[in-house]
Structure 1
Amino acid sequence: MVVMPAKSTMSNAPNSYKNDLALASVKISAQAASTPWLDATKPYVPVFQEQYGTHLTPNDISTYYTLTESGQAGIEYATNELHALFLQATEYVLAHENEVAPYFHIPKALWPKIQKSFRSSKNDTISGRFDFALTENGIKVYEYNADSASCLFECGHTQDQWSKVVGVDKIGRSSSNTLFDQLVAAWKSKNIQGKLHFLCDNDHEERYHSLYMMSAAQAAGIECILVVGVADLHWANPRDENSFVLDRQGNPIRNVWKTWAWQTVISQYEASNGRTENVRVMDVMLHDQVRVFEPLWTVLPSSKAILPILSQLAPNNSYLLRASFDEAIVSTFVGGYVAKPVMGRTGANVSIYDSNHKLISATDGKWDQDTIVYQEIALLPKYEDDKYVQVNTWAINGHYGGTVLRIDESNIIGLSSGIHAMRVISNPKH
């Protein structure tokens, strides 16, 4: 695989470093813990409370983090630049499908749909999340979750509400207080015709993220319907192969925002033996006449298979970690490397090796037989609480929208990793 390098735009760009982020703590007062800390009149809050409770714990010493203004400028710039770069890499993949498609493990029959999706829905992105490590040498990007809503609600709502209740909202400023308004603006720009269905599984996190996003779409003037699961969906005409899918009330589903990952749909497609009487997720999301957010083409920038392509497309980009499908190349990686499966999700089946190729840490999962991407190492920084911190930034409609932090005792972030608030503060005076 040979990729022609793109021109570098990194000279004199702002950046963000490990020392820009710092640990802070606050004691939860009895007053702060005496009433629910979130406004339950907002439709997404009760679902969040079902899982995490309504009150803070009094006298608990809670941690949060601060980021310097220069560090904030760095991650905003990086988010915007990287969104454009991942889009460029996606265009490269689609232009060289015959050469690179096998690395993505996507059925051949779906590639025409991906090509069509990009042609017709290139601008149909609402939100995508980057995973960053703030190293001593600046920002390093692990991957782009262009097809995920995980942590969006926490970024745009709970971290600022928590900061307000515990009294740290007067320390610096928020990094994400415009995120919801940006979502509203994004939905307004999409010119949705008809109703917009929000599809999610019967899971607390999926439901509150759906309701949060749905509130933004409603604020944009769009008529929205929440659909939990697919049991109530049915075919308008079971005998017609091109039949629309209808919701419980008989409304045709023409526009969809979903929490289901495209990789889940692809797995369902691979296991399918044709159309079934009962409507499946794939029947909705792969329907030729359904407009889906995030669109099908986002499966490409979300795939770890894009990383080696990026590495060759922009070899001098300081945000990128060198990556390859060839294990032999790890001998040229300084400091060690990470091995992760193309199909892997939520930190599963990730192995980290030091400069001597000795295993530092690893996670289990179901993708142990998958194609592996080898990526140059950039370990997450560890702070005074002996925790590793990953910086996750959101691109809303292709532009920076906010930051949320994932914290763990392990250097591999997973589903159970904590989420902590962050405040942006002035640069220290020297």
Structure 2
Amino acid sequence: MSVKHSSEDLPFGAVQGIASGNVPAYCCDYDTVDETRLTNREAFRHYENGIYTGYKWQCVEFARRWLLINTGCVFDDVAMAYDIFNLESLKRVQDGKRLPLMSYKNGSPIEPEVGGMLIWQEGGEFAVTGHVAIIVGVEKNRLYIAEQNASFSAWPAGMDYSRSLPIHKDEQGNVWVEEEEHGTPVLGWMLQKNDTSYSQPTAPFTPSKLKILSQTASSQPSQSDWLDVNDNAENAYVHMMDGHRMKCSGDQSQFYIMSTSAQRAVRRATAELHSQFLFAVDHVLKRPETWSAFNIPEAVWPKIQQSWNNRRNEVMTGRFDFCLTEMGLKCYEYNADSASCYMEAGRIQGKWAEAFNVKLGVDSGGELFEGLVKAWKRIRDEVTEHDQSPLHIHILYDNDLEEAYHAKFMAQAMEKAGIITHMQLGFKGIKRNSDGGLSDKNGVAIRRVWKTWAWETALDQLRSELANESKQNTSSLRLVDVLLHDNIMVHEPLWTLLPSNKAILPILWELFPDSPYLLESTMQLTDSLKQQGYVSKPIAGRCGSNISIVDAQANEIAGTSGQFADQNQIYQAFFPLPLIGNQYVQICSFCVHGSMHGLCTRIDPKPVVTSSSDVAPLRIVSDDEHGEFLVSSINN
């Protein structure tokens, strides 16, 4: 949830107001947390008379605490606030009895009541999570609510509510609640009733909705050149692919579909895992005894700590690699630093659908480019708020065809956000200035950099220097000289090294062993992993290199070679990718500022996805359409 700040904001934990029943609402501005008092995740869990109510001080926590204090009931744990709308009962704490909970969509003839819960769907300022508030007053044309985490300011003086919302009845007698402030539609309201009249039935979730299906376009493109070679990014992509195509091999008309329920599951997992990875980063930085597992030079840790302290909220983008099957959704890893496939997801698969006249469903990456633009605008606004001069960013990329189109695609997002970009191929033309700074061949000072290189590449140069393995030519500019320069700010921040390093995975497993999205991961091979089968991965490996898959009978069923064989390994429970036709299919979710903004697939005839694996088009279809195609595939 993204809440707007104002000059009247209170600090984290300050009382914003007192709701009916003498229930205080607390400020949830995490930017002002006193980390000397709340030192770990457990400290954020709140208990009321020994009953867990939620995380301080989120909207769900307030709703559960209000109900507990005023009715003696609580609702079950939910991943997102909007999930409350699918609950069917409350639990009475005294005896554990279940009481029916009815949900009424906005526009229902059943009016909201005091003590009910008002639920928002995801979107606007309530993006990803949705929102919940308690109804504390109802009048003919107004609804009064109490809540947490909708603002950070105090409630109106002397009032037992945070704000009011207009309500009205239409000609058919249906009641509508209007949201004026946060730009997010109200989903509906929840009431504890026995009468099921007009209540919204809960649709049961079936595992088959998570199944990815293969489809084939019914027509071929009317013209073979369906990408725009006058566009710098698309021209570079065509050059890389040696033609206008999305896959290097195989049937170009073949694509995949996933249901809206599956998309929703990945969206929820992306947001929850992003928060968990960030919590794990904070956990590591506070515990130097964990640092050795990451094999990062000691001299770099203070810079990582500084990067985290100053820029923990500035993470731009990352890519989660998921396995999605009827058995569930599991995360393999988080590429939070220099991830690839943005252009394939955000543009190429949409253009493919236009060329092949595929109208089924919607483009799974259709929102990615605008999500990137919005994120860069946020960076631009934060910088220009203090400095009115235009924001310049140098885009540093290697002499690699894939990096070229990736860099040019990102440059287009920056330029649309009002940022002036400078394409910098390698270190050609970069000069050292007399003041110790760097400038490009045109004399423009290099102050900010976005790079396609991984931070680990720069660290390898530093490791070599520290180990005296090779004589350094101090007159020759190196990647490490640019990325770790004191006067250059790099996007993504240096701290993204940690969530991208697979040594974070065992720490995540220790912190969140009950997460439905994590796979058991350890630094040492355990009997538990041997019994279920496991995957060994180098902690800073890339592109699927040096991965080994071993089954429960100790047989290696797949393995890849590469340049990371000498790295430390982690071991992760084996959860195989689905084999669809003759391809293993991995789902990639693109995370921008903490929420999902697009999806794509990576496919390979072997069980390990590598840099040579194709990206195939992915479309999102309704649950009903998905069910029809599923039945058809079974019958055939």
Would you say same fold, with TM above 0.5?
yes
SS of structure 2 residue aligned to 1:417: coil
Aligned to 2:620: 424
Aligned to 1:289: 487
In the TM superposition, what is the alpha-carbon distance from 1:391 to its structure 2 partner?
Answer: 0.3
Give the direction of change, closer, same or farther, for the CA distance of 1:124–1:19 in structure 2 (3 Å limit).
closer
Aligned to 1:394: 590
> 2:337 aligned with 1:147, yes or no?
yes
Mapped contact 2:211–2:325 kept (Cα < 8 A)? no
In the TM superposition, what is the alpha-carbon distance from 1:271 to its structure 2 partner?
Answer: 1.8
1:355-413 per-position Cα deviation (integer Å, ceiling 9, x unaligned): 12221111112222321101111011111x22100000000122111001000011000
Which structure 2 residue ranges, 5 or more long, are not aligned?
Answer: 1-38, 46-53, 56-75, 84-204, 385-390, 466-470, 629-636
Aligned to 1:244: 437
In the TM superposition, what is the alpha-carbon distance from 1:137 to its structure 2 partner?
Answer: 2.4
> 2:234 aligned with 1:71, yes or no?
no
SS of structure 1 residue aligned to 2:363: coil
In the TM superposition, what is the alpha-carbon distance from 1:186 to its structure 2 partner?
Answer: 0.4
Aligned to 1:261: 454
Alignment of 1:13-412 (within 5 A): 13=79, 19-29=210-220, 32=221, 34-55=223-244, 62-96=253-287, 98-168=288-358, 170-191=359-380, 192=383, 194-237=391-434, 243-272=436-465, 276-327=474-525, 329-332=526-529, 335-383=532-580, 385-412=581-608
Q: How many residues align?
A: 417
In the TM superposition, what is the alpha-carbon distance from 1:252 to its structure 2 partner?
Answer: 1.0
More divergent stretch after superposition (222-231 vs 32-41): 32-41
TM-score w.r.t. length of structure 1:
0.91
Higher relative contact order (CA 8 A, sep 6+): 1
1:58-89 per-position Cα deviation (integer Å, ceiling 9, x unaligned): x9562100000101110111111111111111
SS of structure 2 residue aligned to 1:344: coil
In the TM superposition, what is the alpha-carbon distance from 1:33 to its structure 2 partner?
Answer: 5.0
Give the direction of change, closer, same or farther, for the CA distance of 1:27–1:61 in structure 2 (3 Å limit).
farther
Which structure 1 residue ranges, 5 or more long, are not aligned?
Answer: none
Seq. identity, %: 38
Distance 1:60 1:93 in 2: 46
Mapped contact 1:127–1:394 kept (Cα < 8 A)? yes
1:232-270 per-position Cα deviation (integer Å, ceiling 9, x unaligned): 111012xx6xx1111001111101100000000100111
SS of structure 2 residue aligned to 1:176: coil
More divergent stretch after superposition (6-15 vs 294-303): 6-15
Distance 1:283 1:157 in 2: 34
Distance 2:474 2:410 in 1: 30
TM-score w.r.t. length of structure 2:
0.63
Distance 1:18 1:177 in 2: 21
Distance 1:17 1:264 in 2: 42
SS of structure 1 residue aligned to 2:305: helix
Give the direction of change, closer, same or farther, for the CA distance of 1:334–1:403 in structure 2 (3 Å limit).
farther
Letter of the 2:593 partner, please give it: N
In the TM superposition, what is the alpha-carbon distance from 1:339 to its structure 2 partner?
Answer: 0.9
Mapped contact 2:551–2:557 kept (Cα < 8 A)? yes
In the TM superposition, what is the alpha-carbon distance from 1:12 to its structure 2 partner?
Answer: 4.9
Distance 1:247 1:28 in 2: 48
Mapped contact 1:17–1:138 kept (Cα < 8 A)? no
Mapped contact 1:27–1:61 kept (Cα < 8 A)? no
SS of structure 1 residue aligned to 2:601: strand
Compare CA radii of gyration and give the structure with the larger one: 2
Give the direction of change, closer, same or farther, for the CA distance of 1:275–1:114 in structure 2 (3 Å limit).
farther
In the TM superposition, what is the alpha-carbon distance from 1:4 to its structure 2 partner?
Answer: 7.8
1:338-361 per-position Cα deviation (integer Å, ceiling 9, x unaligned): 111112211111111111222111
Mapped contact 1:257–1:293 kept (Cα < 8 A)? yes
Mapped contact 2:372–2:592 kept (Cα < 8 A)? yes
Letter of the 1:288 partner, please give it: D
1:136-157 per-position Cα deviation (integer Å, ceiling 9, x unaligned): 3211000000002310110100
Distance 2:265 2:77 in 1: 13
Give the direction of change, closer, same or farther, for the CA distance of 1:4–1:223 in structure 2 (3 Å limit).
closer
1:162-212 per-position Cα deviation (integer Å, ceiling 9, x unaligned): 0111011x1011222111111111011113463110000011111111111
Mapped contact 2:529–2:573 kept (Cα < 8 A)? no
Letter of the 2:319 partner, please give it: R
Distance 1:61 1:293 in 2: 35
Distance 1:416 1:423 in 2: 22
Give the direction of change, closer, same or farther, for the CA distance of 1:244–1:56 in structure 2 (3 Å limit).
closer
More divergent stretch after superposition (45-54 vs 82-91): 45-54
Mapped contact 2:360–2:621 kept (Cα < 8 A)? yes
More divergent stretch after superposition (259-268 vs 171-180): 171-180
Mapped contact 2:280–2:504 kept (Cα < 8 A)? yes
